[in-house]
């Protein structure tokens, strides 16, 4: 029996379009035809350079060699995100891709650390993460095998090169690319879905399933099918970004930096040949010109590109999959890149599509499952990003005061209250984010729990100090012995262990 759609048309050739094309060409049965339409005249959003470790799984599933990928995308390695000025103006912490310490007698490590903290303030939590230590020292190596102090790593990459690389990959596997601007969308009689697209050239392209990767326009899902956009700007008020490239750093850090400003934040993303910089802001609090001047004033060196001004609104479509249209990437929703999650959301959408689509005759069951899953993913990322804004003690602007006093989604409020009361981290079995991520942000932003696990609270600090000190020293020595990130890149990267 032949089931599932046969002709898949992908609209858009940004990161979402080419990731979808490459993955579907690799993972779907060969009887499916894949066609991608993109318009050079319209172009892509032109940002999206920081990733999280899941991208390694995406690449591996496609059989992409990691060193070849690093060369092709001019990537650097990423072990963490550094947050500067997010709790208070002077605070600084890392969110590494690792846990802190390890469980002791089945109790999370951070309870022990909190137990000793008052009497031993000089060792911060980062000392118990090998990834964080390596990041601080400008070093990088793949995680040691079979170590309890393992970690994940990701990349900073040139997004247009990544799209180009995936395009070559997809075209080699039979994806056909059509250059042209879509002028109209022809509805399907049976259910009002999409039957075909017509290009400015007059060409008509028919399909069974349409993947909308048209970016913020959301050409098919939003504009044509009218699936509503749920705005989250009452929680995430930033609505603009400006991006500017500057020269490469001589010692590229193995982490992304996010620095809070009075009206939002700035990113700094080190690539091999340049540095990506950007400022995300609330347009009610600062003008575009002021934001641009602030960003230029903060660069290491002279700007190497014109400012790329981007308008957005935080939120997601009520459904990512409607009738025979599936939106992937910016056409399905947007959350600011504070935790570098957009490429991850693209990847999850593609994988879920593969998982749900091709045995389903009507598509209805798979469609509902896909929509539930993607909503959950978006909402979880949303809450984690809100957490960074909400937990601040900055007194320097109305923007931060408003964020501190806003009411947040109920599930997030519950998590914060639980940690505050008992240092317990509520977590999910699947999806983002795992407990160490929550811990890094709770403590980094200055949320101090009122109590810890009673079994640890009873232990004398003196008996804990020695083992903790030993562990921190061991991790520090291990990190010191790792190669410098710069040297690893000069060698073209390392083969993953």
Nearer to ligand FAD, 160 or 262 (CB): 160
Distance of closest approach, residue 3 Cβ to ligand FAD, in angstroms:
28
3-state secondary structure of 174: coil
361 is catalytic: no
Residues 327 and 212: beta-carbon distance below 8 Å:
yes
Please report how close the Cβ of residue 128 comes to ligand FAD at its closest, in angstroms: 27
Asked if 83 and 95 touch (Cβ cutoff 8 Å), the reply is yes
**Closer CB to ligand FAD, residue 163 or residue 472?**
163
Q: What 8-state DSSP symbol labels residue 219?
A: I
Q: Which is nearer to ligand FAD, 159 or 374 (CB)?
A: 159
- Separation between Cα atoms, residue 397 and residue 490, nearest integer Å: 43
Quote the CA–CA distance of 177 and 308 in Å, as a whole number.
27
Which is closer to ligand FAD, CB of 51 or CB of 73?
A: 51
- The answer to whether 96 touches 63, Cβ cutoff 8 Å, is no
Dig out the tokens for 363 from the structure.
């598509």
Shortest Å distance, C-beta 327 to ligand FAD:
9
Binding site for ligand FAD (CB under 6 A): 12-17, 37-39, 42-45, 47-51, 159, 181-182, 213-215, 217, 219, 241, 278, 310, 312, 329-331, 337, 340, 342-343
Parallel, antiparallel, or unpaired: how do β-strands 194-199 and 308-311 relate?
A: unpaired
* Residues 6 or more apart in contact with residue 420 via CB below 8 angstroms: 447, 448, 449, 450
Cα 126 → chain centroid: 21
Identity of the residue, 327 or 489, whose beta carbon is nearer to ligand FAD in the bound complex: 327
- Give the C-alpha distances (Å, rounded to integers) separating 450 from 88, 158, 271: 20, 44, 41
> Minimum CB separation from ligand FAD for residue 376, in Å?
18
Helix or strand holding residue 309 (H, E): strand 308-311
Decide whether 196 or 310 has the Cβ nearer to ligand FAD: 310
Q: Give the separation between CA 414 and CA 180, rounded to whole angstroms.
A: 49
Question: Closer CB to ligand FAD, residue 17 or residue 85?
Answer: 17
CB of 26 to ligand FAD, least distance (A): 18
Burial of 195 from C-beta contacts in 10 A (0-12 / 13-18 / 19+): middle
Closest C-alpha among 333, 326, 440 to residue 382: 333
Closest approach of ligand FAD to the CB of residue 22, in Å:
13
CA-closest candidate to residue 390, choices 422, 427, 417? 417
Q: Of 78, 323, 352, 415, which residue is the catalytic one?
A: 78
Asked if residues 333 and 317 have their Cβ atoms less than 8 Å apart, the reply is: yes
Please name which of 9, 11, 30, 14 lies closest in space to residue 358, comparing C-alpha atoms.
Answer: 30
- Closest CB to ligand FAD among 84 and 137? 84
Token couple for 17: 């379009």
**215 CB-contact burial (10 Å; exposed 0-12 / middle 13-18 / buried 19+):** buried
Distance CA 22, CA 351 (A): 12
243 phi and psi angles, rounded to 5 deg: -120, 140
CB of 334 to ligand FAD, least distance (A): 7
Query: To the nearest whole angstrom, how small is the minimum distance from the Cβ of residue 291 to ligand FAD?
Result: 12
Q: Looking at beta carbons only, is 149 or 155 nearer to ligand FAD?
A: 155
DSSP 223-258: IIT-PPEEE-TTT----EEEEEEEEPPSS--SEEEE
- CB 444 → ligand FAD: shortest distance, Å? 19
Q: Which residues are catalytic?
A: 78
């Amino acid at each position: 029996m032949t089931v599932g759609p046969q002709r898949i048309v992908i609209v858009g050739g940004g990161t979402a379009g080419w990731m979808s094309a490459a993955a579907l060409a690799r993972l779907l049965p060969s009887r499916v035809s894949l066609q991608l339409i993109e318009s050079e005249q319209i172009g892509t959003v032109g940002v999206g350079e920081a990733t999280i470790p899941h991208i390694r799984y995406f690449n591996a599933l496609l059989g992409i060699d990691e060193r070849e990928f690093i060369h092709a995308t001019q990537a650097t390695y990423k072990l963490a995100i550094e947050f500067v000025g997010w709790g208070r103006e002077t605070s600084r912490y890392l969110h590494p891709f690792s846990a802190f310490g390890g469980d002791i007698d089945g109790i999370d490590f951070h309870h022990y650390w909190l137990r000793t903290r008052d009497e031993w303030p000089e060792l911060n939590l980062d000392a118990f993460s090998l990834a964080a230590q390596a990041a601080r020292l400008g070093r990088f190596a793949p995680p040691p095998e079979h170590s309890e102090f393992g970690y994940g790593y990701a990349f900073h990459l040139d997004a247009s090169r990544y799209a180009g690389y995936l395009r070559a990959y997809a075209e080699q596997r039979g994806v056909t690319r059509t250059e042209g601007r879509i002028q109209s969308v022809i509805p399907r009689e049976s259910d009002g879905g999409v039957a075909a697209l017509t290009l400015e050239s007059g060409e008509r392209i028919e399909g069974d399933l349409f993947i909308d990767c048209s970016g913020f326009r959301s050409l098919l899902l939003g504009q044509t099918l009218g699936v509503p956009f749920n705005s989250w700007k009452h929680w995430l008020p930033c609505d603009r970004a400006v991006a500017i490239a500057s020269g490469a750093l001589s010692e590229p850090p193995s982490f992304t930096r996010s620095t809070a400003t009075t009206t939002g934040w700035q990113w700094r993303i080190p690539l091999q040949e340049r540095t990506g910089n950007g400022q995300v802001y609330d347009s009610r609090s600062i003008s575009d010109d002021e934001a641009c001047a602030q960003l230029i004033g903060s660069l290491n060196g002279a700007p190497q590109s014109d400012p790329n001004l981007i308008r957005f609104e935080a939120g997601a479509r009520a459904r990512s999959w409607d009738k025979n249209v599936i939106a992937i990437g910016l056409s399905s929703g947007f959350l600011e890149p504070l935790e570098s999650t957009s490429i991850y959301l693209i990847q999850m959408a593609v994988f879920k599509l593969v998982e749900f689509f091709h045995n389903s005759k009507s598509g209805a069951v798979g469609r509902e499952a896909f929509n539930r899953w993607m909503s959950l993913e978006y909402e979880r990322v949303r809450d984690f990003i809100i957490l960074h804004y909400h937990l601040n003690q900055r007194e320097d602007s109305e923007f931060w005061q408003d964020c501190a006093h806003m009411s947040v989604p109920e599930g997030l409020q519950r998590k914060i209250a639980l940690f505050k009361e008992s240092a317990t981290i509520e977590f999910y079995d699947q999806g983002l984010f795992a407990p160490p991520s929550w811990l890094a942000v709770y403590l980094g932003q200055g949320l101090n729990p009122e109590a810890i696990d009673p079994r640890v609270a009873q232990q004398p600090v003196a008996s804990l100090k020695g083992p903790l000190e030993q562990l921190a020293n061991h991790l520090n020595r291990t990190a010191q012995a790792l190669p410098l990130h710069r040297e690893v890149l000069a060698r073209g990267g390392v083969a993953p262990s």
